[in-house]
Structure 1
């Protein structure tokens, strides 16, 4: 009898070979991930690795002193957390938490580290995703250095939309300001300009995407490089 391969919403899991899936699946446990659920705490050992199926997580860097912080990456159903493990470190200087609530699968970090030693192909797949995350971070630096607030907002909204299965998600202006490293009034003005162009609609604590193609035009060249690299390495078929 042929055993049917399970269907995963996470693209890394969905693309695993039969052998790698057989190796990893017994150690995966489903988990609900609430808003601001902390997936990793800065400078503390990573205990678990999360493969998101729904929702979006923010990777947030912070200065050595004070309260200066900004988002440096996001992850959703395209990948997983715990990438520092692939580089031989048990911790990261960044926090990672859920910016949009969701769900996924969790595996103990120590267990995953042992599985990676058993499967070169599994390790390579996660390393490729780590590479894409580095590209995403670099593009974020470029956007923050050269982009307007409207371009940065459009880019961020597109990246989040890529990882969600809905045009509508709950997010406050205060939270967006934290993620983008700008003041709240700047976020409010930027969203108003996008709304005036009928690209998004905002209400209290919620943003709805109306015109994705229009948002892509608004983001311009600041959106698409990391996305193209992901598709080059993992293919265009989404789960």
Structure 2
């Protein structure tokens, strides 16, 4: 796959004012993000922040026994590595590419210097961070109170918002790891959605056939996350 030449396919980068954009452009490094690539591990010091353009990155919390659950997804609307400029330097979560594609990375020192200028970059990143925190909180509520069918619909919709088309390359095992459930549960939920004509699933490919049907089927958590993203970020960032 050819590397995407346009950093402004990432909405945060597209929202940078001209002065900041001209400073950043020579520093941005185009990278390929293959499925399953780990961008950082729990507790590791971040050397880069990442701006996906066509890839989706899952933020996972991994327990001592190896079990995991997704706490948020980041795609072309955002940045991976907020702990770097929030002052923590590291994070207890793991960042893994859940949908292959491309993106750009920026060195940690450059990101911190830009954030510490206390200008437009600081305000843009803080608004994005608030939107991401909302997604994390709503994910926790959803996983506790809503059915697996509803969780799967929410997860599919959040992923679709960050992709160009209507197809995801994703195995049931990977979805199970994201949602923190047994693979058999994902199989049953996916079959229900397929029987109702909402998706088609075959050999790791999920094709969404009826997005409106998914929106009607899911819980309120998807709408809460989307509304907050739309509220906090510029219009061209809205997914």
| TM-score of the superposed pair, with normalisation by structure 2 | 0.94
Aligned to 2:129: 130
Aligned residue runs from structure 1 range 212-227, under 5 A: 212-227=211-226
Contact 2:49 2:107 in 1 (8 A): yes
Contact 2:35 2:98 in 1 (8 A): yes
Q: Report how many residues are paired.
A: 233
Aligned to 1:207: 206
Aligned to 1:174: 173
Contact 2:32 2:103 in 1 (8 A): yes
- Deviation of 1:235 after TM superposition, in Å, equals 3.4
- Deviation of 1:119 after TM superposition, in Å, equals 4.4
- Deviation of 1:86 after TM superposition, in Å, equals 2.4
Give RMSD over aligned pairs. 1.4
- Deviation of 1:106 after TM superposition, in Å, equals 0.7
Q: Any idea what the Cα deviations from partners look like across 1:34-82, whole Å, max 9, x if unmatched?
A: 111111111010011110100110000022x212211111000010111
Aligned residue runs from structure 1 range 7-156, under 5 A: 8-63=8-63, 65-156=64-155
Corresponding position: 1:158 with 2:186: no
- Deviation of 1:23 after TM superposition, in Å, equals 2.3
Structure 2: how far apart are the matches of 1:105 and 1:176?
Answer: 25
Local SS of the residue matching 1:207:
strand
Local SS of the residue matching 2:45:
coil
Structure 2: how far apart are the matches of 1:7 and 1:82?
Answer: 17
Aligned to 1:183: 182
Contact 1:143 1:152 in 2 (8 A): yes
| TM-score of the superposed pair, with normalisation by structure 1 | 0.94
Q: Which residues of structure 1 form unaligned runs of 5+?
A: 1-5
Structure 2: how far apart are the matches of 1:119 and 1:13?
Answer: 17
- Deviation of 1:114 after TM superposition, in Å, equals 1.3
Q: Which residues of structure 2 form unaligned runs of 5+?
A: 1-5
Aligned to 2:3: none
Structure 2: how far apart are the matches of 1:123 and 1:237?
Answer: 18
Local SS of the residue matching 2:161:
helix
Aligned to 1:231: 230
Q: Any idea what the Cα deviations from partners look like across 1:108-145, whole Å, max 9, x if unmatched?
A: 11221112222421011111111111000111011101
Contact 1:86 1:127 in 2 (8 A): no
Structure 1: how far apart are the matches of 2:68 and 2:40?
Answer: 15
Q: Any idea what the Cα deviations from partners look like across 1:75-110, whole Å, max 9, x if unmatched?
A: 000101110022211111110010100101111112
